[in-house]
């Protein structure tokens, strides 16, 4: 096992509102929700394919350079985006900017499909693996997303 290091990161927690009822309807392949679910999967995949592999790719404005270290973990209708806060790439993106921009891009694409998101953004310590994250920054973003008036 690799050594565990917590890093100061920007973290966003995003959640699709009303997803439980939507997915129950989408389970029927004859329903209009099933077609919308298929399109939702394409949109999510396209938005989460965010790493720019080579310089100068045209039409890839939603992508970030690899050295920003933006990471996205998601399950069902919940997304967690994170990036080290102190990492400045040669493109000028800080972790906070990368997380905020990608959150806005994802929210915009889902809104065009009729889905609303709630979310929270926080900065703090985080330990990240390829498939999971741990730390106070995640907890703070999650709690902020659920905070109401």
Q: pLDDT, tens digit, for every residue of 59-97?
A: 455 566 565 678 888 899 999 999 998 754 445 568 888
Task: Give the DSSP letter string of 40-99.
Answer: HHHHHHHHH--EE-STT-TT-TT-EEGGG--EEEEETTEEEEEEETT---TT---HHHHH
Q: Comparing 44 with 23, which gets the higher pLDDT?
A: 23
Q: What is the pTM of this model?
A: 0.81
- When pLDDT is cut at 50, 70 and 90, the band that residue 146 belongs to is confident
Considering only the top CATH level, what class is 7-146? Answer: alpha beta
**Beta bridge mates, 43:** none
Of 9-13, 35-39, 89-93, 118-122, the one with minimum mean pLDDT is: 89-93
User: Buried (b) or exposed (e) across 75-94, using 16+ Cβ within 10 A?
Assistant: eebbbbbbbbbebebeeebb
Structure tokens at 93: 């993106």
Domain boundaries defined on the chain: 7-146
Residues whose CB falls within 8 Å of the CB of residue 18, separated by 6 or more in sequence, listed in order: 115, 116
Report the alpha-carbon distance of residue 145 to residue 117 in Å, rounded: 10
Quick one: 59 exposed, middle or buried, by C-beta within 10 A (0-12, 13-18, 19+)? exposed
What pLDDT is attached to residue 94?
81
Helix, strand or coil for residue 16? strand
Structure tokens at 92: 């000028």
Q: Is the pLDDT of residue 109 over 80?
A: yes
Helix, strand or coil for residue 129? coil
Q: pLDDT, tens digit, for every residue of 43-56?
A: 888 887 755 444 44
């Amino acid at each position: 096992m690799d050594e565990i290091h917590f890093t100061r990161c920007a973290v966003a927690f995003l959640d699709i509102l009303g997803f439980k009822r939507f997915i129950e309807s989408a389970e029927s392949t004859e329903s209009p929700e099933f077609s919308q679910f298929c399109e939702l999967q394409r949109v999510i995949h396209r938005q989460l394919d965010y790493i720019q592999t080579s310089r100068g790719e045209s039409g890839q404005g939603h992508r970030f350079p690899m050295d920003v270290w933006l990471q996205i973990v998601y399950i069902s209708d919940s997304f967690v985006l994170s990036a080290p806060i102190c990492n400045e790439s040669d493109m000028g993106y800080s972790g906070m900017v990368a997380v905020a921009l990608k959150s806005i891009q994802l929210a915009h694409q889902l809104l065009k499909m009729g889905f609303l998101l709630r979310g929270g953004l926080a900065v703090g310590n985080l330990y990240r693996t390829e498939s999971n994250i741990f730390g106070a920054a995640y907890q703070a973003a999650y709690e902020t997303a659920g905070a109401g008036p």
